[in-house]
Structures are given as structure tokens and as C-alpha cells.
Structure 1
Amino acid sequence: MRILVTGAAGFIGSHLCERLLQLNNTEVVGIDGFINSSLNETKQRNLRELLLNSRFKFYQTDLREADLARTLDGIDAVYHLAGMPGVRTSWGTDFKEYVSHNISATQTLLEAVREFPVQKFIYISTSSVYGEKVGKVAEESIPNPLSPYGVSKLTAEHLCKVYQISYNIPLVILRYFTVYGPRQRSDMAFHRFIKGILNDETLQIYGDGNQTRDFTFVSDCVEGTVAVLQAEKVIGETINLGGRECASVLQVIKQLEEIIGKKANLEFTRGLKGEPRNTWADISKAQRLLNYNPITTLKKGLNSQINDFINIE
């Protein structure tokens, strides 16, 4: 099987490529546009081991300008992870970048896939499309994003569904819930917390720190994502991939303090616009369709991310 992964040099994309290459008789073609130059060094590190594998081929190119006819020729399945991430930076004039990378680039890829039929087109979305909900959120919950980022991802979901209906593209949508672990981007919370505690820096906490998230360890997330390849009766489905346990920001910091053996210096500031108070995934559909079973405890996952951070430094 030959698989295309967009966003292959990213945090989750690089882990996904590595896991796909562990499968028998798979080849992986990766695309990444390196659209954020500040992450170039990180992305090069993410690719280091992959580039040593003869069954991995990589194109550093903007998806909107790529030679998709050449890239898609012979591809059996597509994982579309590429896009512009981040809630905080999606406001104001920066939103045009989200429209371009999350919506227009997705439409460009869908147009190309029309000409090169695949067995599955897996679009990676986010819990940010749900907005503020109470309790566990099932896929049937009406989306109500709170940020321009969430709007851009939900719009791309609708685009995918339009192409599925009109051109029979075999679509599966996965909604990730707050993924963490080794290689997490430097702007993401756990990376900032670990760096701050180790270096005696002040941690900026948005709001009161009691907001909760369904934290998903990257290897659990990737197992669920890979399972889509062989799963039956998933075409047309939207599926949540969440973690094993929910925790508040302050509970996470307490665990980090215990693991690292140092106290954090906290500075509380105004809460962020566009961030829901709580997220919690109902993963019963993923369990039923993908045999999904997140096994990594928050403590074990944090240990792994800390060790990775130290090794980088």
C-alpha cells in the first residue's frame, strides 16, 4: 500500500509516518511546506529518521503549489494533516493564512484526488470545531467553534463532505483532542510548561488554570489514526480520538513539578478568547469502529515528553 501524508514533518505527521512504515508492504510519501520558518529546525529533526528509510519519499513543497498529479499517482490512501494550527494566532489579519492553508489547500488536494481515486481519504480535524460543550462530546453534537481556527477546520470538513457527495471521495474525518508528547511544537502548552519549569522561567497561565482538556498522547492518537486504513464501515464517518484521562492545567503542572522535582513559578493572566472551558471526548465510536484503546496515562506521557525535551537540549 502506498500512502500520502500531508504535514509529514509536523509533530503528529512525523509520528504517523513512522508508524505507517512499520506496517508490512507500505510505502509513505510525505509532503510538508515548512510554512512556519521558525519551526524549520524542529521539522528537520522530525524527518531525520524517516529520511533514512528507503520506503519513505519526501517533498518539501507548499500543498497549494505541489505537483499533485505526480504525487498522487499510485497512492492508495491519503492522510491530510497539513494546515495552519493554533487558536490564539487565528484572529485579525492572520486569519487569511488560515483560509489559505486550511481551506484553500484542502480544496486543491480534493480536486486532485478526483482525478486519482484512492481507497480512503482521511481528513484530520480538531475538537475545536465543537466549541463549548458540557460533559463528553459525541460526534453527533452540533459544531459551534469559538475561534477563527475552529471555523477554518469546520469549513474544511464541509468541503470534504461536499466532494464525498459529488465525487464519491471515500472520506473519513478524525477529530483530535489536545494531542501531546515528544516533538510537540514549542508554542504548545506542555512544551512551554516543561521548558519553563526546567529553566526556572515564569509560566504564563491563561485564566484560572482550572480549565480541563482531554489530553491525548501522540502514540495513542497515531494508533487510532492508522487503524482507519484497515477498518470497515468507516467511509463517511466522523470519529473522535481522545485520551485516557481529563485534567486541568493546574493538575498537569502539579504532575510536571512532581516528575521534574522543581516548583513552577506561575503568573496568571486573562483567559484567551476562542478557547473552550472544557473538552472531553466521547470515544465510544472510535472504540467500536477502530478498536481504539488509548493506554498511556498522563503521568507516563508527560515523562516521555520531558525526556524528549531534555534530549533535544
Structure 2
Amino acid sequence: MTIFVTGAAGFIGSHLTERLLTAGHSVVALDNLDGQYSPADKRLNIEPFWSNTRFHFVEGDIRDQSLVADLLRRYRCQVVVHLAARTGVRASVYEPAVCLDVNVSGTLSVLEAMRSAQVSRLVMASSSSVYGNSPHLPFREDDAVAQPLSPYAMSKRSAELLAHTYHHLYGFDVACLRFFTVYGPRQRPEMAITRFTRQLLDGEPITLYGSGNTARNYTHVHDTVSGIVQAIQYIKGFNIVNIAGPSSTSLHELVQLLERATGLPARIDWQPEQPGDVYCTQADLRRAADQLHYKPSILLKDGLRDFVAWYQQIHGTVMV
């Protein structure tokens, strides 16, 4: 199978590309290598794939509709996995126009390119951010999601609605996967687990916002990629599906787990709560199990231990 992956040089995209190539698929990888974080890091993410004849990389932007349509036709792609996005809740508060342009207009560009090239199977990254501060835990896919707390959350919900429109009008088979705080090797540098690990190993205080009691359903990238691969296999009709880790963990507990993984004590720099952040995320995974046969396999304590080992190997740090 030939699979078109947007955002293929990023954190999740590079892991997905690796899994697909290992499974014998061909991957047409599109990424604009933007400067939201180091383009050099993104190039390193895909460096191991260059020798694989089934890997085809194109540096380009999802908003270039003619380019996307041409690639879909030229390589006879059968499925699109749309991961490219302007990421980050806090970043979206300060740069909402960029967030909406990439995440909404960019998604529309991908959908129109698919229509033009007659490719009708789409797996798309959404986010747990769409749930906002829902009072209902765990979050279910049929919960009301009409009160986003950030431009990023709104952009992801808008992308879901666009995808549904193309399912309705043109018969697209679509799986919108709501990812819950993905972590693991190659994680973006501004995300909490990478930042906390760096601060611990460098002897710096860890910055925590609010009370430290906010909680997240952390998901190892291995499990996230398994959810995407399952969606590629079982995609039919239009579905929204949570993809998450086994349980939720508070910020306090996360820091304690990282202390154990590094063997180092943490000093905390308390800061006010940040705008746009949700208080708690927790996923109901029954639909994922029923429709995609998805079950997360990596506990947070084990994933953090492996992440710290990877981080030390990449950055040359040594625990004392």
C-alpha cells in the first residue's frame, strides 16, 4: 500500500513512517520543515529512511493544494494520514492566525487535493483539547465539544467538521483520531516531558503552572502509532476515536516519576496558571477498542524510563 503522510518529519509522523516502512508499505512523506522547532531535528528524524526505496520525501506545504494533488496522483496513493499542524495550545493563544491558517485552511487544502486526485481514505490527527473543561470524565467521543478554550482546540474541531463535510458530500472514509498528550523519543522540545527532563538533568528548577494538580492522559508514541495503523486498516464511514494511554496522571505525579527515572530531585518554580490550558484529560477508550481493536500497552513509568535513556543518549548527559 502507498500511504501519503503529512507532517512526516515531525515527532509522530517520523515514528509512523518508520512503522509503515517496516511493515512493507510505501510512504510519500510531505513536510515543510517549518521553524516552530528546529528543522535540523526534523531532518534527523527522517535521516534513517533515505536509503529505503519505498520512502519518498518532498519538502512542501499542505496549503499548496496543487502540490498535494500532484503527489497523490503521481504516486497513486491509497490513504492519506494527515498529521501536519501548527501545534501547541499556548502558542495558538499568541499566534491564532497562523494556527487557523495551517490547521483549518491546510486541512481544507488536503481535502480538496484528495477530491481532485480521487483519493477518499483519510486518517486525521485531532486532539483531546477539543473537549475543553468538560465536566464529564472520562471524555467520550459523543460529548459536546462546543466550548474550546484555545484557538488550537477550535482549529482541531473545525478540521473534524471539514472532514465530516467531505465524508457527507463525497463519500470519504474518515477516522479523526483525538490524540491525548503524546510523549516518547523525538518529542517536541517545548512539551512538558522533554522540558522537565532537560531541566532535571541540567540542575535547573522545573516550571509548573497553577496548582500542579492538573492531569493528563499521557500516551506513548508507540501506542499512538498503533492507533493510526489500526485506523488505516479498519477505516470506514466517518468516525471520531480517542487514542490515549492507560490512565491520567497529575503534574505532581509526573514530576515524581521523572525524579525516579533520572535519580535526581526536582526543584519547582511555581508560576500562574496559563490561559487556554484544560484542567484534566481522561479518555474513554471503549470506541477505540470496539472499532480499531486498540489497547494501550505502555505504562507511563516504563515509557518515561525509556524516554530518559533516549534523551541522555541523544544529548550526551550522564545521570549521577
TM-score (norm 2): 0.94
Instruction: Give 1:131's aligned residue.
Output: 132
2:218 alignment counterpart: 215
Which ranges in structure 2 are unaligned for 5 or more consecutive residues? 316-320
Which amino acid letter does the alignment assign opposite residue 178 of structure 1? T
Q: Is the 8 A contact 1:64 1:108 kept in 2?
A: yes
Residue number in structure 1 paired with 2:96: 95
8 Å CA contact retained: 2:216, 2:281: yes
One-letter code of the match for 1:249? L
Partner of 2:318: none
For 1:58 and 1:151, the matched residues in 2 are separated by 30
User: C-alpha separation between the residues in 2 aligned to 1:112 and 1:119?
Assistant: 10
Q: How far off is 1:37 after superposition?
A: 5.5
Residues 146-175 of structure 1: CA distance to partner in whole angstroms, max 9, x if unpaired? Answer: 111101111111111111111222211110
Aligned 8 A contact 1:118 1:170 in 2: no
2:106 aligned partner:
105
Q: Distance in 1 between matches of 2:125 and 2:280?
A: 21
Match of 1:4 in 2: 4
Distance in 1 of aligned mates of 2:210 and 2:23: 43
Per-residue Cα deviation, 1:32-59 (whole angstroms, up to 9, x for no partner): 0112264212101111112222111001
Corresponding residue for residue 172 of structure 2: 169
* Residue identity matched to 2:48: E
Query: Match of 1:263, as an amino acid?
Result: P
Contact 1:11 1:184 in 2 (8 A): yes
Residue of structure 1 aligned with 2:231, choices 222, 228, 234: 228
Structure-2 residue corresponding to 1:72:
72
Partner of 2:58: 59
Gaps of 5+ in 1: none
The AA in structure 1 aligned to 2:117 is F
* Structure-2 residue corresponding to 1:117: 118
Judge conservation of contact 2:37–2:188 (CA < 8 Å) in 1: no
- Amino acid paired to 2:130: V
What RMSD in Å do the two structures reach over aligned CA positions?
1.2
* Secondary structure at the counterpart of residue 271 of structure 1: coil
Partners of 1:69 and 1:132 lie apart in 2 by: 38
How many residue pairs match? The answer is 310
| Superposition TM-score, scaled by structure 1 size | 0.96
Hey, what does 1:292 align to over in structure 2?
Answer: 294
Whether the aligned pair in 1 keeps the contact of 2:172 and 2:237 (CA below 8 Å) is: no
Mapped contact 1:220–1:296 kept (Cα < 8 A): yes
Q: 2: CA distance between counterparts of 1:298 and 1:97?
A: 33
Distance 1:127 1:288 in 2: 19
Question: The residue matched to 1:78 in structure 2 has which SS?
Answer: strand
**Residues 235 and 22 of structure 1, relative CA distance in 2, 3 Å threshold:** farther
Q: Which amino acid aligns with 1:185?
A: R
The amino acid that maps onto 1:34 is L
Alignment partner of 1:203 is 2:203: no
Identical amino acids, percent of aligned pairs: 37
Point out 4+ residue stretches in structure 1 off by more than 2 angstroms. none
Q: Secondary structure at the match of 1:230?
A: helix
In 1, distance between residues paired with 2:162 and 2:232?
Answer: 21
